[in-house]
Structure formats: C-alpha cells, structure tokens
Amino acid sequence: MMRISARRSSAATRMLLSAVLAIPSATAFAQDAEPPLGIDTLEATFKWRPNYVSDDMLKNADKDANNWLNYGKGYDQKRYSQLTQINRDNIKKLVPLWNLSFGVNDAQDSQVLSVNGTLYVTSSQNKVFAVEGSTGRILWKYEHPLPADIGPFLCCEAINRGVAVYKDKVYMATLDTQVVALNAWSGKEVWKVKLGDYTSGDIYTSAPLVADGKVIVGNSGGDLGGNAGRISALDPETGKKIWEQFTRPTSPDHPQAKTWGNNSWENGGASAWLTGSYEPSTKTLFWGGGNPAPDFDRHSRPGDNLYSDSTIAMDVETGEIKYHFQYTPNDAWDYSGNNEAILLDDEQGRKVWLHGDRNGHLYSIDRTNGKCNWVVPIARVNWVKEWQENCRPIADPAKVPVKGKLVTDIAPVLDGGKEWHPATYSPKTKMIYIPFIDSSMNIELKDQKFERGKWFLRSKVLSVNPYTGGLKAFNATTGELVWTKPQSFPATSGLVSTAGGLVFSGDAEGYFSAVADDTGEELWRFNVGTGIHGNPTTFTVNGKQVVAIVYGPGGGSLWPLAYAEFMKTHNRGGGVMLFGLPN
C-alpha cells in the first residue's frame, strides 16, 4: 500500500494512474513536501491476482483471439477463433507439441480453457488440471472424491465436460451433485455446495457458465426420471443459491403440469444437462431441457411434456422463463433438446439462434420471441410425417414405439442426427458446421413401474443399426446444405472454425482433422491413438497459435455399446494433446 499525507491541495489534479506509477514509495518525499496530486491522502493497493478473469473479459471473450474463456468461447457459442497463424497454407506442418495423460481410462468429454497461457481442463472422475501451456507441465491437480456406489446412477461413464473460470476461481460441477470452487493459482478448494442427491440419479456432468456475476449450472440424469430438470444460479464467492428454475413441473398447480397427462410430470426427467448460451444486451439465458421419462413410452405421458426437448429463454437476474421453443413434443425417441443455441444475426438481419437437434434437424429460431424461421434435416430422418405451423412436427405413427411389436429402422438413432458435441459458426463464411451421425434404431416397449434410482426407459428391445457420420456445412441464413464430408465413423467431437479458413474436429476412430471451411476438403489429420469424444479449442501460448484436443473414447448413448468389436484393434486412454507449428 502507498499512503501520502499533505498539508493542503495544490495544483489541478493530474491523472491518478500516471502519478501512482511514478511514485516508488511514500518515503520518496519529505514530510513537508507537496504531494504531486495536491490531495491530503493518496492510497493505492495492489494485490497480485494471476489469471484473473473479469466480467468484461467474459463478456468480450468472443473477440479475444488469444484466450478461450467460456465453454463456447463467447457467450454466443459460435466456437470461432480469429486466429490465422495456423491456416490452409501451413496446416500440413502442424505437429504435436506435448501430450498429457489424465491417468484414467473412462470417457473423456472435456475441453481446454486458456487464460493467458495457463490451461484448465477436467478429466473423467472429476479431476481438474491446471497446466503450463508452453510445456504441458501440471501446475496443480485437484481430485474430487466420488462415492463408491455412484456407478449405477451414471448414464455415460464418469464424464465431465469442463470448468468455468471467473475472477480468481475455477468452478467444476461434480457427479455427486456438488459445485466446487477452486483457487485458480493454487487449486485449493475455496467452497463446495451440494445441489442434489445422486442416489436418485441426479448428477452433474457439464461445464458451468458464469454470466451476470453468477455461476449457472444444469443437472443431468433425466433417464432415471426421478429428478426434475434444474438450472441453478450460485453466488461465485460463497456458492449460495441465488435462484433456481425447473425445466418440468414440480407440483400439480404448475402452469405446464397440464402438458404432462396422467400426472406423468412426477417422474418426467427433462434434465438440463448441457451448458447454455447468454445474450448480455437482453440479459437472456438460453438453456436446453432434455428428454422426458420414461424415455420411449410417449403413450404413458400424453401432451407436449414441457419443457422437455426445448430451449428456454430465461432472465439471468431472476431465472424467470420468458418464452421457449420445443423441438420434439411428446418425445418417444430420447431425442432431448439440450444441444447448444448458437446466437447470431443472420444475413437478413434477423436475430436468431441456430440449433442442431438430436431429432435430426437444424433450426433457425427468432431469439426475440421463440418463433421458428426454418427447419432442415441434418441426416436421414423418417420419424416426422409432416410439419405444422411454427415448425411443429407430426410424428409418423409407424415410427412410434409400441408394446408387442418391434418398430424397426427409426431414424435418427437416439444419439441423434447430431449428438451433444457442439457445432461451430464462422462469421467469415456465414456457415454453420455440424458434426452429424447417420444411423437408426429398433425399439419395442414393455411395462415398467417407476423405481427411485433405477433406469426408467420402458424398453424391452433397444438395438441400433450401423453407424456412419461426418461433417456438414449449412448456409446459416437459409439452411441450404453447402457441403458434406462423410466418414466411416460417427462424428464424436465438437468443432472449432477459424479465420485461417479451417474447421477442426475429431472422430471415434481417433483422428483429429482439419478441413477447408469453404469446401470440406480434408487438409490434415493426426491419429491420437484412441477415440476422440472431447472438444477442440484454439488460443495462443507465448504469442503462437496452438490447438488443443481432449481425447478418450466413451460417453454418449448407444455408440459406446458397439465398442466390443472396435476395441479388438484399439486401446482406451485419456488425455489432452496440444498441436502447433514447428519453430
């Protein structure tokens, strides 16, 4: 601290910052000397806060080429980088710079955040790593202890999709329903709060979002039915709950209870298991509600089952729901609606969100009122018979699961035409890039009573047909398909687009690839040695652009069940690899 006392004010005030920087200490002046600012007391306190992330940094993260501060880079979830050092002309020179093993083999669905050269990443089993970006050296590691009996309550292995960073803390949501705040420099636990009960199937898998000075997180576990989808906003300093919003009714007098016939809302699922988007100018959060439960028996829960399979727009200050859009009313196929909402203004000047849904369609939705502009298929879809006003689908009865009969070749598979892995939008090309899956499934229903903590699917037979997938690019204003890049394996990672004319992605076979953003031509690929289910991110370390990918197979819905044959010629593993151009 600097403290200077003076007898009286003197000349006109100069710039405070310049004066402070020019004064080495209070003892540099005689006691009777006139202070340079002419004020009686001059004080300045400096506290060293490395890797400090301010509200302004998060708000403008989409314009920050050097860092990756939010789950979707910016609050708009475009996952677009302005960096051009790695580009089409030199991409073939891209090489691994270092590799960090997580030391666990479960599914790895995470991604790297970067704050001025320090990287933060999670692994399965709720581990957090702070890593020196230039070397891959672990600066600190935090391991959250998990209950020994948690396994049966997990959908998709012990996954975690990443952390949030804010001020001097790192935040992770855990499988046993806790949110943990860690000191960003030391990894020491600052606070920990419990939000639910994992023995009911309530778990947390996704990265929190920090918006409007709040840590916001949604729960997972809707397939067990006993938990209402829940979005919670916490105080970042204490963990105290500020507000909570539910994505399905929690009482019979709830306004949406009538959309759940037979009181089916009581065990209705609709968990909020992916990170949302945020529009600071309107203080609006866009968050997804997942599939209703039981997953495949729509007959037991007549009605639209709101807010399952929907994006809901909420007031960030109160959690109040402003409006919603539902993609799959009365879902019978486990299609969810959690996938990201990418916020942009299209070429017609419309304020929209783009959403690639698991039900096999890409949507453009007016983000001022929740009205649909258009809907187009992502991959092969046969469950929709026709479309009504506002892009409301009418299901083909022949593709609705029933008891006593195996309904075959329902497309897409429950993993979706697009799984949870995020798409990317490039303002350079005005295109949205989708990682797609092309497969179908066969379902026969059975009777099943709800039991707390048990899977609630009502499915006697659930089988899948061969998988393929790849990448597709669509005109973000019209929905027109621009190019497609099919592959033998489903697309199982998120995407990143860059001003260098590239789109990065990974696949289940283990290839990390870069394609030309205008044509889809593959320009480079590298085999990381095991399947990729995490997301790529790109940023700079010591002024040089690098690209990070989290690798490790698993997670997801049915695709991992096909690993038995796959693993005869492949190995499991988990870690993060950093790529860059050679010096």
Per-residue tens of pLDDT for the chain, all 583 residues: 333 333 333 433 334 334 344 434 444 444 555 656 677 887 877 777 778 999 999 999 999 999 999 999 999 999 999 999 999 999 999 999 999 999 998 889 999 999 999 999 999 999 999 999 999 999 999 999 999 999 888 888 899 999 999 999 999 999 999 999 999 999 999 999 999 999 998 999 999 999 999 999 999 988 888 888 999 999 999 999 999 999 999 999 999 999 999 999 999 889 999 999 999 999 999 999 999 999 999 999 999 999 999 999 999 999 999 999 999 999 999 999 999 999 999 999 999 999 999 999 999 999 999 999 999 999 999 999 999 999 999 999 999 999 999 999 999 999 999 999 999 999 999 999 999 999 999 999 999 998 888 888 999 999 999 889 999 999 999 999 999 999 988 888 999 999 999 999 999 889 999 999 999 999 999 999 998 999 999 999 999 999 999 999 876 655 555 566 777 887 888 999 999 999 8
Q: From CA 469, how far away is CA 492, in angstroms rounded?
A: 9
Q: From CA 78, how far away is CA 58, in angstroms rounded?
A: 14
Residues near 232 by Cβ (< 8 Å), separated by ≥ 6? 195, 216, 217, 218, 219, 241, 243, 244
Q: From CA 146, how far away is CA 459, in angstroms rounded?
A: 30
> What is the residue whose two structure tokens read 């009286």?
8
**Do residues 252 and 263 touch, judged by C-beta distance below 8 A?**
yes
User: According to the model, what pLDDT value does residue 462 have?
Assistant: 93
Choice among 109, 297, 334, 438 that is catalytic: 334
Question: Residue 512, Cα to own-chain centre: how many angstroms?
Answer: 19
Is residue 334 part of the annotated active site? The answer reads: yes
Q: Calculate Rg over the CA atoms of the chain.
A: 25
The SS3 call for residue 398 is helix
Question: Residue 82, Cα to own-chain centre: how many angstroms?
Answer: 20
Positive or negative, the Cα torsion across 522, 338, 363, 63?
negative
Question: Strand (E) positions, 12-163?
Answer: 41-44, 80-81, 95-101, 113-115, 118-123, 127-132, 138-143
**Do residues 412 and 379 touch, judged by C-beta distance below 8 A?**
yes
User: According to the model, what pLDDT value does residue 558 have?
Assistant: 58
